[in-house]
Amino acid sequence: MTSKNKDEISISPEDRELFRNTVKNLAPLKKNNKQVFKKKPIAKARFAQKDQQDVLIESLDCDIEEQEKSTSDFLKFHRKGIDYRILKKLEKGQISVQSELDLHGLNLNQASDALKSFINNSILSNYRCVRIIHGKGLGSGERGPVIKDEVKRSLKTWKQVLAYVSARQHDGGTGALYVLLKKH
């Protein structure tokens, strides 16, 4: 059986008549007349774009201080008996910083020596609050924040260090600490 015979068998006379009536007023396309079709529009994921916009807006509205507090980079320490209101003031940067130490560019031994000298001088000067800029450790590679970890460890050994907390964003964020010292 040829394909022509097969088509004749599978199409009913009613369907054939319906098809002929439907296409009787149509003209066939000329071979040299090319149809110009517009490019298929690029699919746009509207909801994905909306989600991206929402995330951007939320990140702009969100308090950067709160975002940093929720990371493991945020440091916070206090000794027993420290009033929580003083800790809140320290966290908010509301206690006046009387001196500052910047450890950028130092190796671990230099930073450790500078920190000891700075804390001892700050205690002798009867400073209440100091800021230590240790950096975020981005230059340390896979080892992580070497100087930051040393500062964190060392500060806990001084009994005169009552508390410390990562600084506010404009004072160095998780790359710096506010340190609360005991009055002399």
How many separate domains does the chain show?
Answer: 1
Q: State residue 9's pLDDT score.
A: 63
| pLDDT one-digit tens code per residue, 28-78 | 766 665 666 667 777 666 666 667 777 666 666 555 445 445 456 788 999
8 Å CB contact between 137 and 101:
no
> Per the domain annotation, does 120 fall within a domain?
yes
Backbone angles phi, psi at 179, to 5 degrees: -120, 125
- C-alpha gyration radius of the chain: 36
> Per the domain annotation, does 169 fall within a domain?
yes
- Three-class DSSP category at 178: strand
Q: State residue 8's pLDDT score.
A: 52
Q: State residue 68's pLDDT score.
A: 46
Is the pLDDT confidence value at 14 over 50? yes
- Following DSSP, what letter does each residue of 82-130 receive, concatenated? --HHHHHHHHTT-SPP-EEEE-TT--HHHHHHHHHHHHHHHHHTT-SEE
> Per the domain annotation, does 29 fall within a domain?
no
> Per the domain annotation, does 156 fall within a domain?
yes
Q: Structural domain of residue 155, as residue ranges?
A: 74-181
pTM over 0.75: no
| pLDDT one-digit tens code per residue, 34-44 | 666 667 777 66
**CATH at residue 94:** 3.30.1370.110
> Per the domain annotation, does 35 fall within a domain?
no
Residue 6 binned pLDDT confidence (cut-offs 50, 70, 90): low
Q: Record the tokens describing residue 157, joined without a space.
A: 């050994």
Tokens 């940067």, residue? 93
d(Cα 131, Cα 128) in Å, to the nearest integer?
Answer: 11
| pLDDT one-digit tens code per residue, 71-113 | 567 889 999 988 989 999 999 999 999 999 999 889 999 999 9
> Per the domain annotation, does 84 fall within a domain?
yes
More confident position, 4 or 155: 155
Is the pLDDT confidence value at 2 over 60? no
> Per the domain annotation, does 78 fall within a domain?
yes
More confident position, 27 or 8: 27
